[in-house]
A and B are shown apart, each in its own frame.
Chain A
Amino acid sequence: MSAGVLFDLPGPRARARNRIITVVASLLLLALVAVFVWRMDAKGQWAGELWSPFLKGEIWRNFILPGLKNTLGAAAVATVLALIFGALFGIGRLSDHWWIRVPCGVIVEFFRAMPLLILIFLAFFLPNKISPAIAESSFGTLQRVLVDNFFSIFGVEINAGTVTVPAFAAVVFGLVMYNGSVFAEIVRAGINAVPKGQAEAGYAIGLRKSGVLRRILLPQAVTVMMPAIVAQIVVLLKDTAIGVIIAYPELLKQAFREIPPNFHNNILQAGIVVGVIYIALNLAISRLAVWLERRSRGSHRTSAKTMGAGGAPPAPGMSATGTTTGAD
């Protein structure tokens, strides 16, 4: 039902009433803006030296662009790893074997229930607290081999038995675990949304389970899942901002910790500039989601169950309405 049915074409009286509401609402909004402007003025926040730094090239070169690069870098690495995690665990949850299905389900449900910040803290603070004890025990060699041969690609270091995890790796770990679990649910819902007859037809022509999944279910599910996945990528990108809490040098850390001390404590101004960057970035990704949905709607009767409201499984994160952005 579109909103257009909610009210009649306004007659003379309704038009007059709407005009009054328009004037009153506009005045209220203007008053709100005026209070903000006046308050900024009272605190000297319109001063040129607070705003002019953002017109200089050096502040973009030295602070904002490196921050943006770190934000996008963490988001890109995390997206790729989370998609792999999601595909593995989403398919794992659909397995016929309980000893695959149940552990996958427990892991996905656990990481979906954990706040992202706790996961990031887990990766950031726990290893250097517990690694000395592990180094002394019989697992010491295993720990060193694992760090040297695998975790080192994320910048993890081991020094005299103490494992240090850089902020980048901790942020990526948290993002992968949380968003990977959400992707797993999207994959599961996407595969479940493919009509049952499709799989039956696959078995009927003699395909094995893996063949049915790979050649029939997944290709159809992927087109249907696309909008939900892109929406979750927006969530992931926004979530990189939590990295500021463990001092990962992303966009927000530059805005609140690096720029203000150098330029007369211009926290508000830096926040507004960086906020505009985030909004532009996310709106662009959301556009992509809308375009993808429109494209896939042409060839498919249904869209993924995760995207609609009502009757759908609990929406992951806050992306309750699907096509555009989510939260968290």
Chain B
Amino acid sequence: MSLSDLFDFGPFFDNIDVILQGFWATIRLAALAGVFSLVIGTVLASFRVSPVPVLRAAGTGYVNIVRNTPLTLVLIMCSLGLNDTLGLTFSNDSGTTYYWWAVLGLSGYTGAFVCESLRSGINTVPIGQAEAARSIGLTFSQSLRTIILPQAFRAVIAPLGSVFIAMIKNTTVATAASYGEVVTVMKTLLDLPSFTSGAIPLFLGVAAGFLILVLPTGYFFGWLAKRTAVAR
């Protein structure tokens, strides 16, 4: 084998179908986890500022525990612990049930970070806004829903963007939780003895794929942040 064989893109394009399927699995995981983590994060953030001490304690406890645990541990505990050991399955099909556990694990983990971004966003809202909301007689949930959270969201779009970018990259860890995304495909291909000459193109292709997923996400959130910034 010579040096030029190392850049033989033949094996890469022969397997382009499986690689694209891997990326599709990554996108499916990232998209759903993005939506779920936004919901979980918003609920957690409202817990953490609520007037009820039990809810505040529950929110704080959850965030502190989840943020200090490695994602790999969270995902493996979901798949091997809750699914395999405790038998909490979503379906009889193992692919489906591991997919949903990966979605739940990743959203539960990312949700804690969304919550913290949002809470720092709440801190950017001027006190007068909350005072005005109270003075016109809005209840806590009304002022949170109509006055505080909308402004907080607009303030944290850029940090939320980096949370989502990290989340997209984190989907790769789901391979440890038996979910077959693009890294799983990559590992399978690299294990083929016949794939020696395709290794460099494979890495280049997967790297390019992640650049395609991550860079536009960054630009989109940057653009959105500028567009929705609250003028004060």
Instruction: Give the total of A residues in contact with B, Cβ under 8 Å.
Output: 79
Contact surface of B with A, Cβ cutoff 8 Å: 1-3, 5-6, 48-49, 51-55, 58, 64-65, 67-73, 76-77, 80-81, 84-88, 109-110, 113, 116-117, 119-127, 129-131, 134, 140, 143-144, 148, 155-156, 158-163, 165-167, 169-173, 175-176, 183, 186-187, 190, 196, 199-200, 203, 206-207, 210-211, 214-215, 218, 221-222
Q: How far is the CB of A19 from chain B (nearest CB, A)?
A: 9
Q: Are B131 and A5 in contact, with the CB atoms below 8 A?
A: yes
For B161, the closest partner residue in chain A by CB is A314
Q: What 1/0 mask marks residues of chain A from 90 to 121 whose CB sits below 8 Å from any chain B CB? A: 00000000000000000000100111111001
CB-defined contacts of B125 to chain A, threshold 8 Å: 1
In the complex, A282 Cα to B167 Cα: how many Å? 20
Q: Are A113 and B71 in contact, with the CB atoms below 8 A?
A: no
Q: Are B68 and A278 in contact, with the CB atoms below 8 A?
A: yes
**Which residue from B85, B120, B162, B206 sits with its C-beta under 8 Å from A316?**
B162
Q: A18-B51, A310-B158 are in contact. Are A318 and B113 (CB under 8 A)?
A: yes
Q: How far is the CB of B136 from chain A (nearest CB, A)?
A: 13
Q: What 1/0 mask marks residues of chain A from 108 to 141 whose CB sits below 8 Å from any chain B CB? A: 0010011111100110011001101110110100
In the complex, A309 Cα to B143 Cα: how many Å? 22
Q: A121-B183, A310-B121, A310-B156 are in contact. Are A129 and B144 (CB under 8 A)?
A: no
CB-defined contacts of B222 to chain A, threshold 8 Å: 314
Q: A118-B210, A129-B190, A327-B170 are in contact. Are A241 and B203 (CB under 8 A)?
A: no
Q: Are A309 and B169 in contact, with the CB atoms below 8 A?
A: no
Q: Are B206 and A39 in contact, with the CB atoms below 8 A?
A: no
Q: Are B187 and A121 in contact, with the CB atoms below 8 A?
A: yes
Q: How far is the CB of A288 from chain B (nearest CB, A)?
A: 13
Q: A10-B51, A133-B2, A309-B121 are in contact. Are A271 and B88 (CB under 8 A)?
A: no
CB-defined contacts of B121 to chain A, threshold 8 Å: 309-310
Q: Are A327 and B166 in contact, with the CB atoms below 8 A?
A: yes
Interface pick from A20-28, A77-85, A200-208: A20-28
Q: A121-B186, A312-B158 are in contact. Are A325 and B77 (CB under 8 A)?
A: no
24 A-B pairs in the complex with CB atoms less than 8 angstroms apart? A5-B131, A22-B53, A39-B86, A113-B210, A115-B210, A122-B203, A137-B2, A239-B70, A241-B73, A242-B176, A245-B173, A255-B73, A268-B86, A275-B69, A278-B69, A278-B70, A279-B69, A315-B159, A316-B162, A317-B166, A318-B110, A318-B163, A320-B163, A328-B169
- Find the residue from B6, B109, B163 having the highest chain A CB count within 10 A: B163
In the complex, A114 Cα to B172 Cα: how many Å? 10
- Find the residue from B158, B169, B187, B210 having the highest chain A CB count within 10 A: B169
CB-defined contacts of B221 to chain A, threshold 8 Å: 314
- Find the residue from B80, B116, B117, B148 having the highest chain A CB count within 10 A: B116
Q: Are B206 and A244 in contact, with the CB atoms below 8 A?
A: no
* Residue A6 at the chain B interface, CB threshold 8 Å: yes
Q: How far is the CB of B178 from chain A (nearest CB, A)?
A: 12
In the complex, A308 Cα to B120 Cα: how many Å? 8
Q: Are A318 and B162 in contact, with the CB atoms below 8 A?
A: yes
Q: Are A14 and B81 in contact, with the CB atoms below 8 A?
A: no
Q: Are B113 and A117 in contact, with the CB atoms below 8 A?
A: no
Q: Are B68 and A283 in contact, with the CB atoms below 8 A?
A: yes
Q: How far is the CB of A290 from chain B (nearest CB, A)?
A: 13
Q: What 1/0 mask marks residues of chain A from 258 to 296 whose CB sits below 8 Å from any chain B CB? A: 000000010110010011001101110010000000000
Contact surface of A with B, Cβ cutoff 8 Å: 1-3, 5-8, 10, 14, 18, 21-22, 25-26, 29, 39-40, 43, 45, 110, 113-118, 121-122, 125-126, 129-130, 132-134, 136-137, 139, 234, 238-242, 244-245, 252, 255-256, 265, 267-268, 271, 274-275, 278-279, 281-283, 286, 308-312, 314-318, 320-322, 324-328
- Find the residue from B52, B86, B143, B207 having the highest chain A CB count within 10 A: B52
Q: A7-B51, A118-B210, A282-B67 are in contact. List 16 more A-B contacts (CB 8 A).
A: A18-B51, A114-B210, A115-B172, A118-B183, A118-B203, A118-B207, A126-B200, A133-B5, A286-B68, A310-B121, A314-B221, A317-B166, A318-B162, A318-B167, A320-B156, A321-B119
CB-defined contacts of B211 to chain A, threshold 8 Å: 110, 113
Q: Are B166 and A328 in contact, with the CB atoms below 8 A?
A: yes
Q: A274-B73, A278-B69 are in contact. Are A45 and B163 (CB under 8 A)?
A: no
